[in-house]
Chains A and B, each alone.
Chain A
Amino acid sequence: MKDILSGINTYKEWLKEQSGSFADAALFLTSRISKLDKDVNAFIEIDKEGITKNAEEIDAASAEGVLRGVPVGIKDNICIKGRLTTCGSHILEGFRPPYNATVVDKLRFVGALLINRANMDEFAFGSSCETSYYGPTKNPWDTKHIPGGSSGGSAAAVAAGEVVAALGSDTGGSIRQPASLCGVVGFKPTYGRVSRYGLIAFASSLDQIGPITRNIEDCAVMLEAISGYDEKDSTSVNREVPRYTESLSKDIKGMKVGIPKEYFIEGIEPGVKARVEESINVYRDLGAEIVDISLPHTKYAVSCYYIIGPAEASSNLARYDGVHYGYRNRKANDIIDMYIASRNDGFGAEAKRRILLGTYALSSGYYEAYYLKALKVRTKIADDFSDAFEQCKVILTPTSPTTAFKIGEKVEDPLQMYLSDIFTIPANLAGLPAVSMPCGVDEKDLPVGLQLMAQPFDEETLIKAAHAFERSTEHHKLVGEKILKK
């Protein structure tokens, strides 16, 4: 199939050649997605009615937005008014939000065609997209493998050429890890850069919405469209949004790139290590100065995260009680039984596990030993980064220690699953912006991701450094060559 969705400009060119309306293009797109998605399951369901209505509104509008008519996949935890939003969970079955997430309003403002609902791990709890109530998403590079998670549907949809871009959310790596495993670009902005209003909460001090795209230029366009202060999210930061597209095509001579030794440890696959080391050489050839740095508390990040994340999640998920929205067990006789029965039926095993873990860590007698301790270690991890950024402008690491593992391989071993986020979690704990981009394939022909992290609100450096790499390599083109030509 022709790769007409390989980028914003490519798709707009194709659109221009068509004689029909945006609604006609939407019809074509939904049938194309249905075909491409059969083996991938990136979308829980294609909301044809919502998409058609959206396209008709674009036809009626006269404004020439930067994303006019461009199909953007929306993760199932981002609210679109009147359109099903279920967070990959049974407990939100049938939920139609009465309002739009701020990012949804922003994307509509620039004319995007919103394609819902992209599959995800239930409540974003997972690194493989296998915990979705609606069945797993598969990696379009090899459908026996997982696409990563939790934004596995968003990443797989972009990789499979079903949409030009997608929105994901990233609490411990949920944008970057699936982007890495699917061979596409995933960007987690600084905490507070993008409004979380209308994002169904997982861990409020860590969650951040960001784009998944095929290339860095599209990433900059998307980032520009969704960033900015929002009075409806008190953690969003009132700070001017730079024109991220102006950071494209810049020279990076003399830029200091830090390599933390703690990210090149035992357990990292040889194929991943080799690609990342080659990438360091690309930066060296581009004139960057490679600096050895140390982030000594890295090995505590997963522990720290699996206290803070579940603690916040257990509190955020208390609202699912069968009263206001979503699923209710109707057999229960009194209200307490109704709460329990609805939650028992509505949540999957991983959600229950995290609620238990979080409630335990917050319960009387354990709060200081677990939760408070984790918050202090979080400070240490953030301090490591502050120290490191005195020696370098950007930090380069692998995104994930492995390429995509097989479906079912880690389902019964939650701790092993948790450890797959070891390189992405630190940026969430420290609130930093970070990007993952393709840097080649391993011996199994599965994509490897390269991660760059920068100081808070220095998204521009990431765009600059990532685009320089992309311009001097061909890795980002692989996904289109491998998947759509199959």
Chain B
Amino acid sequence: MSEGSSKKTITEDVVRYVAQLSRLSFDDKEVKKFKSQLADILGYIEQLTEVDTKDTPPTSHVLTSMKNVFREDELQKSLPVEEGLSNAPEKKGDFFKVPKVI
């Protein structure tokens, strides 16, 4: 879709599709409600198309003086395994435990 294209309509199927991308799921009532609220918000946001940005670069960092920050690739102290696991809902030995993957 090109920049500045006209009004996009959000359908219930789009809400279901985006929910699936987001690892969320909704019943029909929720889908309806989110659809109508998102349509309102996106309808308002449509005003951005009024702004002429043909020659405007996108902001990559708000402070133009900032450049990429690198450090030497050296091993540094990190969290001990037991502390890293201390909040795990389930663990086994030195690992996070999850339900079956395949």
Contact = CB atoms under 8 A, between A and B. Distances in A.
Interface of A: 94-96, 98-99, 190-192, 205, 231, 234-235, 237, 297, 299-300, 302-304, 306-307, 314, 318, 321-328, 330, 332-340, 343-344, 347, 352-353, 355-357, 359-360, 363, 365-366, 368-370, 372-380, 382, 414-415, 418, 429-431, 456
Interface string B35-56: 0011011101101111101001
Given A352-B34, A431-B63, 11 more contacts: A98-B87, A205-B61, A307-B48, A324-B87, A332-B99, A333-B100, A370-B48, A375-B58, A378-B58, A380-B51, A414-B37
Interface of B: 1-5, 8, 10, 14-15, 18-19, 21-25, 34, 37-38, 40-42, 44-45, 47-51, 53, 56-63, 66, 69, 71, 79, 83-84, 86-90, 96, 98-101
Given A300-B51, A323-B89, A335-B100, A192 B63 contact: yes
Nearest to B97: A323
A307 B89 contact: no
A369 B3 contact: yes
B37 A353 contact: yes
B18 A356 contact: yes
Contact of B59 (A190, A365, A378): A378
Contact of B48 (A303, A328, A356): A303
Given A192-B63, A324-B96, A363-B21, A369 B8 contact: yes
A438 B38 CA distance: 35
B14 A340 contact: no
Interface of B is mostly: loop
A303 B44 contact: yes
A369 B45 CA distance: 11
Contacts of A234: 69
A97 to B, nearest CB: 8
A352 B51 contact: no
A366 B8 contact: yes
19 contacts: A190-B63, A300-B50, A318-B23, A323-B88, A323-B96, A324-B87, A326-B89, A328-B89, A328-B90, A334-B100, A334-B101, A355-B22, A357-B38, A363-B18, A372-B3, A376-B53, A376-B58, A376-B59, A415-B40
A304 B89 CA distance: 37
Interface centre among B15, B45, B63, B101 (most CB of A within 10 A): B45
Interface of A is mostly: helix
Contacts of B40: 414-415
B101 to A, nearest CB: 5
A356 B66 contact: no
A340 B57 CA distance: 37
A20 B99 CA distance: 53
Contact of A231 (B57, B62, B71, B96): B71
Contacts of B99: 332-335, 337-338
Nearest to A302: B44
A299 B45 CA distance: 11
A379 B14 contact: no
A326 B89 CA distance: 7
Contacts of A98: 79, 83-84, 86-87
Given A98-B83, A370-B45, A429-B62, A356 B98 contact: no
B24 A382 contact: no
Contacts of A344: 24-25
Given A340-B25, A356-B24, A415-B44, A99 B38 contact: no
Contacts of B8: 366, 369
Contact of A356 (B2, B15, B61, B100): B15
Contact of A322 (B10, B24, B89): B89
A373 B4 CA distance: 8
A373 B1 CA distance: 12
Contacts of B98: 323, 335, 338
Contacts of A347: 24
A235 B8 CA distance: 35
A28 B98 CA distance: 45
Given A323-B98, A333-B100, A356-B38, A379 B58 contact: yes
Contacts of B4: 369, 373
B10 to A, nearest CB: 8
A378 B61 CA distance: 10
Contact of A418 (B10, B41, B66, B86): B41
A369 B37 contact: no
Contact of A321 (B18, B23, B37, B61): B23
Contacts of A373: 3-4, 48-49, 51, 53
Contacts of B24: 340, 343-344, 347, 352, 355-356
Contacts of A365: 1
Given A340-B23, A357-B41, A359-B21, A377 B34 contact: no
A456 B62 CA distance: 10
A377 B53 contact: yes
Contact of B56 (A300, A321, A359, A380): A380
